[in-house]
């Protein structure tokens, strides 16, 4: 029996390693392409050297560097504005059932709506209001889909918190606003981290609204990567370097808050 358990453990470990390699191989191949000179990225059979950082340098010093900064500003502003609003809306729906089932369904329905349905009306409205090619316009557009998502996520988290803690604070004389700020929000730190990270990723990766609403000075990373099509074709090495640079902040952010992220995503489902 002991040998069978050891064999089963080794087989399971091997299968997990193979599955992990299957998912990691595209990322590793992209990193390999980004580290090669442009001319060697197309070589067949594939070459594995010499390595260089010239693709990363070229991307950061060109228009992509500006797009990288734009994405940081817009995604950060989307979370900074949307997370407090999402926390208040999620708490109102969880504890006071504000809006009833109709509001909950409306918030959920926004996630089922294809973005292309909103793209052209938003473009016409924003152009009339002078919000195209501006940071506030892009942040406002991103809030249209990030705010309902974060609100729905936080609503499930708030429903998992014990009501007794809030009732005890009310008995001690705290106002409903004080209960929310001093009791609910500190207890909800994992959920807030999870909603913030996922909202940041949504804004960071969004392409359609950024394509329609940005210009040369405000374009974000997805638009900048799509623009790397020249008369010579796609610059694969530089595109790969841009992909690595665009993935890096998200990986670092998720790694920094991974404990809170997992707890925030699972807490609302466990009561």
DSSP collapsed to 3 states, 207-269 = CHHHHHHCCCCCCCHHHHHHCCEECCEECHHHHHHHHHHHHHHHHHHHHHCHHHHHHHHHHCC
Residues of the domain holding 235: 62-267
**Which is it for strands 233-234 and 229-230: parallel, antiparallel or unpaired?**
antiparallel
Residue 18 lies in a domain: no
How much is the pLDDT for 271? 44
Rounded Cα–Cα distance for residues 199 and 84 (Å): 12
Residue 237 lies in a domain: yes
Tokens of 108: 């959920």
CB atoms near residue 223 (< 10 Å):
23
Tokens of 147: 């705010």
Structural domain count of the chain: 1
How much is the pLDDT for 263? 59
Residue 8 lies in a domain: no
Rounded to 10°, the helix 236-256/2-34 angle is 130
How much is the pLDDT for 270? 43
Rounded Cα–Cα distance for residues 154 and 194 (Å): 9
Percent helix, strand and coil across the chain, each to the nearest 5: 75, 0, 20
Nearest CA among 160, 151, 159, 156 for reference residue 111: 151
Query: What's CA 64's distance to the chain center, in Å?
Result: 19
Residue 33 lies in a domain: no
Among positive and negative, which fits the CA dihedral 65, 69, 75, 76? positive
Residue 221 lies in a domain: yes
Residue 157 lies in a domain: yes
Residue 135 lies in a domain: yes
Tokens of 138: 């892009």
What's the pTM?
0.81
Q: Find the CATH number of the domain harbouring 162.
A: 1.10.3720.10
Rounded Cα–Cα distance for residues 146 and 197 (Å): 11
Residue 154 lies in a domain: yes
How much is the pLDDT for 248? 86
H/E stretch holding 82 reads: helix 63-91
**pLDDT digits (tens), the chain, 271 positions:** 677 788 888 888 999 998 988 888 888 888 888 888 877 777 667 777 778 888 888 888 888 889 999 999 999 999 999 999 999 988 888 888 777 777 777 777 777 778 888 888 888 888 998 888 889 999 999 998 888 888 888 888 888 888 888 888 888 888 888 888 888 888 888 888 888 888 898 899 888 889 888 888 888 998 888 887 766 667 788 888 888 888 888 888 877 766 666 655 555 444 4
């Amino acid at each position: 029996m002991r040998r069978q358990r050891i064999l089963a453990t080794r087989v399971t470990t091997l299968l997990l390693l193979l599955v992990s390699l299957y998912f990691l191989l595209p990322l590793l191949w992209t990193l390999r392409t980004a580290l090669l000179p442009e001319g060697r990225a197309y070589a067949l059979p594939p070459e594995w050297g010499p390595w260089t950082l010239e693709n990363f340098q070229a991307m950061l010093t060109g228009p992509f560097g500006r797009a990288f900064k734009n994405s940081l500003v817009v995604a950060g502003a989307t979370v900074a504005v949307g997370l407090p609003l999402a926390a208040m809306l999620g708490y109102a729906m969880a504890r006071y059932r504000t809006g009833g089932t109709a509001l909950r369904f409306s918030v959920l329905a926004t996630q089922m709506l294809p973005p292309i349905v909103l793209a052209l009306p938003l473009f016409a409205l924003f152009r009339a209001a002078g919000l195209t090619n501006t940071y506030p316009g892009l942040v406002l557009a991103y809030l249209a889909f990030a705010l309902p998502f974060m609100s729905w996520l936080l609503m499930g988290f708030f429903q998992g918190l014990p009501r007794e803690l809030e009732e005890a604070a009310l008995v001690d004389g705290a106002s409903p606003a004080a209960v929310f700020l001093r009791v609910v929000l500190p207890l909800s730190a994992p959920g807030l981290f999870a909603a913030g990270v996922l909202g940041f990723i949504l804004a960071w990766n969004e392409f359609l609204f950024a394509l329609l609403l940005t210009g040369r000075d405000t374009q974000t990373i997805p638009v900048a990567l799509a623009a790397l099509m020249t008369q010579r074709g796609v610059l694969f090495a530089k595109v790969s370097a841009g992909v690595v640079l665009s993935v890096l902040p998200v990986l670092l952010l998720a790694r920094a808050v991974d404990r809170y992220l997992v707890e925030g995503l699972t807490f609302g489902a466990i009561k």
